[in-house]
Amino acid sequence: MILKNGFVYSNGVFQKRDLHIKRSVFVHQSDGPIMDMRGLYVFPGFVDSHAHIIGVGHKYNYVNLEDIRSEKQLLETLKNTSDEIIRARNWHEDILGIFPTRAMLDQLDKPVVLTRKCGHVAVLNTAAMKLVNIYKEDGVFKENELEIIRRILKDPRTDDFYRTGEEHFLKHGVTFVHSDDFHGISQEELISVLKRSRIRVFEKVYFSESTQLENFSLFGKVSERAIIAGVKIFADGSLGGRTAYLSRPYKDDPDNRGMRLLSREEIKRFASICSGKGLQLCVHAIGDAAVHEVALALQNFSNHRIIHAQFVNQVDLPLLKNTLFSVQPHFAFEDEKMVSNRLAEDYPALAYPFLKLKRSGFRISFSTDAPVSPEDPKYVIQSALKMGFSIEEAIELYTTAGAEMAGIENLGRLEVGYLADFSVYERSPLLLEDDPVAVFVEGEKVFEK
């Protein structure tokens, strides 16, 4: 394939030149077919280093509550749902105006599961709790309890969810996702969707205990575009759910410092097993106390990763020199009101220190954590620019940095020897206004507007 006369991105600017593709890779010369890119902009495919493809499918197939702003509107929306089990997500108490309760949801005559925006808290009504055979007076379930709910209230539409999520990433020019999907589905289902993936995937498999990891045998290449090579664990929860593990109590919950979900020794065991198997351990850690535990656990390992790192103690930085970071700049702005409510003004940790990490030589990459936030790279990059990153840095952290973090050194640039993952735009994507008109993975068109 030959792309002729296009404006091709390189190092922050566009230059008019041709691109040649052969066997999924950019080369010096190739034969046809010829595609006329006259007046069009050719740009590397974005790499989202932490998101949930199936979770994005849930967002668009279940009831999406992100714009619901009252109890009345919530109940009316849920009543109009035809599903036998009402599954809804993305509510936030500051937008909704209330924190949903079991009693409120008991007004509905179907089982209801309402998952908060963060994905770490859910509220169930009595009918749903009967199905899972666990009863709580307030109906509020957190963290590992949600895995039980997903497993019991299993939804068989995994393939549909994956295809929907994949389509939404592709439409925004994302060609590669480090995805975390092994929740409430079987190993066979995971392998099935990955084998037929149009998008490139680095799958991170979730385990709650290291013994589960020892018994899992499906690591490795699933297809030319999908590999299972990461392990996902949780050191703590979310700030919104007051389960992020902090060094000081929550300002609005003085008896609570959050939840430490794994001990330092268990994290170390995970890291040791992963290193022995050639896998990358990816640890969810938001609170500074959680990051501290991870820093101590990983200090003698390399090439493992912290996801989020929203609060970090300065003294822990030297321990983290060999650790990678998947970060979300937009959280710094989404969370402003919540941070003010949850944390004291003199809270000692560095907050959302992503620019400092980058400037200090740490290896970071950008991600959305979709469906928690929009799966659109433009949204993330706009926040990164407000944080102080340059547009060139932001593009690097959303392309080559994410690819290299997954062990792929020849992805994210439109250069000879690099894999031909790219998008085509009618206007410059640096305007951060448009989505692509076409998206290619390995030189194959996988999306067209």
pLDDT single digits (tens) 51-100? 999 999 999 999 999 999 999 999 999 999 999 999 999 999 999 999 99
Contact 229, 222 (CB under 8 A): no
For 104-159, how does the pLDDT look when each residue is reduced to its tens digit (9 = 90+)?
Answer: 999 999 999 999 999 999 999 999 999 999 999 999 999 999 999 999 999 999 99
At 166-217, the pLDDT tens digits run: 999 999 999 999 999 999 999 999 999 999 999 999 999 999 999 999 999 9
Is residue 3 within 8 A of residue 19, CB to CB? The reply is: yes
- d(C-alpha 139, C-alpha 122), whole Å: 8
- CA–CA gap between residue 310 and residue 250 (Å, rounded): 15
Domain boundaries, the chain: 2-44+432-448, 48-53+156-411, 55-152
Closest of 238, 214, 219, 244 to residue 229, by C-alpha = 219
Q: What is the mean pLDDT of residues 12-20?
A: 97
**Between 3.40.190.10, 3.50.50.60, 3.20.20.70, 3.20.20.140, what CATH number should domain 48-53+156-411 receive?**
3.20.20.140
Q: How far apart are the C-alpha atoms of 320 and 243, rounded to whole Å?
A: 23
CA 182 to chain CA centroid, Å, is 13
CA 99 and chain centroid, separation: 25
Q: Does the pLDDT of residue 316 top 90, yes or no?
A: yes
pLDDT (0 to 100) of residue 32: 82
pLDDT of residue 156: 94
- Kindly tell me the sign of the dihedral angle through the C-alpha atoms of 328, 330, 333, 337: negative
pLDDT value at position 199? 98
- What pLDDT was estimated at residue 440? 98
55-152 has which CATH code? 3.10.310.70
Residue 264, pLDDT > 90, answer yes
- Other Cβ atoms less than 10 A from the Cβ of 33: the count is 7
Predicted local distance difference test score (pLDDT) of residue 437: 98
Q: Determine contact, residues 373/330, Cβ cutoff 8 Å.
A: yes
Tokens, residue 11: 């190092």
Cα separation values, 393 from 348, 364, 399, Å:
28, 11, 10
Domains 48-53+156-411 and 55-152 share a fold: no
pTM of the prediction?
Answer: 0.96
**Longest Cα separation, the chain:** 68
| CA 272/CA 264 separation, integer angstroms | 12
